[in-house]
Structure 1
Amino acid sequence: MKLVIHGKNIEITDAIRDYVHQKIEKAVNHFQNITNEVDVHLSVARNPRIASNKQAAEVTIYANGNVIRAEESSENLYASIDLVADKIARQLRKYKERKQDKKTQPTNEVVVPEPVVADLIGDRTPELPSEVVRTKYFSMPPMTVAEALEQLQLVGHDFYMFLNSDTNEINVIYERNHGGYGVIQPRHNNAHTNGHSKNGKTAHANTTVEKASASK
């Protein structure tokens, strides 16, 4: 298993490196057969307005083409490492249980078509940050909406961008404020998919998913 440690606004000392190896390797010890690479990012958020600086530990695990992520922060780096080690272990258990359930249980998928939302932002003015502060690169293998939903739950983000295997287009699945999940799809000039892919199949997930089209 490959374990890589990165630091931002912090020096990765031998003591910190040894502690990370001890805690993270123990957390993933029972899952090494599905774990290819572990990426650990340690950082200190320096805010001159606050006397204490938040110290964060983020762990990203690449497991058989899937990404599992956990992040924790506190005023003590070692405490953050302890918290994130426990959290990533729970995420790995959930991931392994889902894989086992898929092998032993039949798939009963429910298709619930939702209306297309014409305008996602209404009267609000889109605002972007003044500068790009971080860039991430990741592979994007084709997957269904149901598989993208599973990835969203594993990485712990509010949204997940993926290549829809039914339409061969980039989609974004996100967690809605009022419950459930939504999918943002590109809108075409002549027509929209209205929940249907190019090959006539309906995009779906085990959890009710709202379809939303984003204007070009």
Structure 2
Amino acid sequence: MKLVIHGKNIEITDAIREYVDQKIEKAVNHFQTLTTEVDVHLSVARNPRINPQQIAEVTIYANGTIVRAEEGSESLYASIDLVADKIARQLRKYKEKRFDKRHETLKAEESLSDQQPVVTLALDRTPELPPTVVRTKYFAMPPMTVEEAMEQLELVDHDFYMFRNAETNEINVIYDRNHGGYGVIQPRNNNGHTHHNGKNGKANHSVSERESFKV
């Protein structure tokens, strides 16, 4: 397992590196076969008005899936403890989903279901952008279904997840709605139409009211 540790506004001392290595290794001990790389980002806020002050973020690359957790407190070591516990829970959830999916595949011939979870778009959020770009992230974007994107959203500890829609090959964003459920943002083409057809060219109404923004 490859472990990479980054620091922002903090020196990564041997003591910190050893503590991170100990905690993260314990957290992923039962998931070694799934984990290929662990990226740890530690940061300390310079502005005293920002709380929590010390943040620990862990990103795990597991067989093409990204599992992420972030925690903060007034102590860097406490933040590392918290994020190690959280990432272990996230990995456990990911492993359970993999098992359930394999189990469902075995029973697919006995019972087939075309139902999909309801995904709607809320327009009650006002987008806010930071004054400057503080971090740039790059990651692979293999095509996936909305349902697979929902699973990824639960694993990355964010309130949104960007993915390439397997049906349309377009970039979509799925996010947690303020009042519950999920929303999907899709691009709108020049003629004002959106691509939301299901199989065989039929409109997919099982995922209700997927509205779109012009991008």
- With the length of structure 1 as denominator, give the TM-score of the two structures: 0.86
Distance 1:111-1:15 versus aligned 2 partners, 3 A rule: closer
Report the equivalent of 2:41: 41
Please say if residues 23 and 85 of structure 1, whose CA atoms lie closer than 8 Å, have aligned partners that are also in contact: yes
How many residues were matched structurally? 209
Do the aligned residues in 2 keep the contact of 1:111 with 1:204 (CA within 8 Å)? no
* Contact 2:121/2:182, CA 8 A, preserved across alignment: no
Give how far 1:201 is off: 5.9
Query: What is residue 135 of structure 1 aligned with on the other side?
Result: 136
| Greater mean deviation of Cα atoms: 93-102 or 195-204 | 195-204
RCO greater where, 1 or 2, for CA within 8 Å and sep 6 or more? 1
Q: Once the two structures are superposed, what CA deviation does each residue of 1:47-101 show, in whole Å capped at 9, x if it has no partner?
A: 1447x87111100000000000001111111111111110000000000000000
CA distance in 1, matches of 2:87, 2:40: 11
Describe the SS at the equivalent of 1:22: helix
Q: Deviations over 1:109-154 (max 9, x none)?
A: 424777888xx479x6x65332211111111111111111100000
After superposition, the Cα gap between the structure-2 partners of 1:93 and 1:202, relative to the gap in structure 1 and judged at 3 Å, is farther
Instruction: Describe the shift of the 1:151–1:210 C-alpha distance in structure 2 as closer, same or farther (beyond 3 A).
Output: farther
Conservation of the 8 A alpha-carbon contact between 1:182 and 1:209: no
- Residue identity in the other structure for 1:28: V
Match of 1:61 in 2: 60
Match of 1:4 in 2: 4
Counterpart for residue 110 of structure 1: 115
- Cα distance in structure 2, aligned partners of 1:144 and 1:70: 23
Deviations 1:161-195 (A, max 9, x none): 00001101000001111110011011122252373
**Alpha-carbon deviations, 1:26-56, whole Å to 9, x = none?**
1001100000000000110111447x87111
User: Which residue type is aligned with residue 142 of structure 1?
Assistant: P
In 1, the alpha carbon distance for the partners of 2:101 and 2:163 equals 21
Percent identical residues: 70
- Structure 1: gaps spanning 5 or more residues: none
Show structure 1 runs of 4+ deviating over 6 A. Answer: 112-117
C-alpha separation in 1, matches of 2:11 and 2:63: 31
* Native 8 Å contact 2:4 2:40 kept in 1: yes
8 A Cα contact 1:141 1:163, kept in partner:
yes
